[in-house]
Amino acid sequence: MVAFVETMHASSPTANIPTNSKSVIPKNQQMAAISPKSGSVSRIIGSYKSAITKYVHSLGYDFEWQSRFYDHILRDENEYFRISNYIKNNPKKWVEDKFH
C-alpha cells in the first residue's frame, strides 16, 4: 500500500498584497506572504535538512546537500514501484557512469 501526501505550496509573490501601486508593503510582510507555511512539505524538508546538516557538521564531517534535485509527486502505485526500483538499482550502474 502506498501512502499519498497532499503537498502545500508557498503563496504566490503577489498573494495578499494590494494592487494599489502607491501602497508600500514592508519586506518582512512580503517575505511572509511567499514563504512556505508551517506544516508544509517544504518546511518539513527544510527543517530535516537543517537538523541533519548541523548534526553531521558537529561530528566533523564536510557535508553538503546536492544543490539541484528533481521533485516528482507519485501519482499511483506503478510510479512508486518504478521509482523505488530505480533508487535501489541505480548505484549498481555507477561504475558505468562516465561522470563517476
- List per-residue pLDDT tens for the chain, 100 residues long: 555 554 554 444 444 555 555 567 788 888 878 777 888 888 888 899 999 999 999 999 998 888 877 777 889 999 999 999 999 998 888 888 777 6
| pTM, full prediction | 0.42
Query: Do the beta carbons of residue 48 and residue 16 sit within 8 Å?
Result: no
pLDDT of residue 83: 92
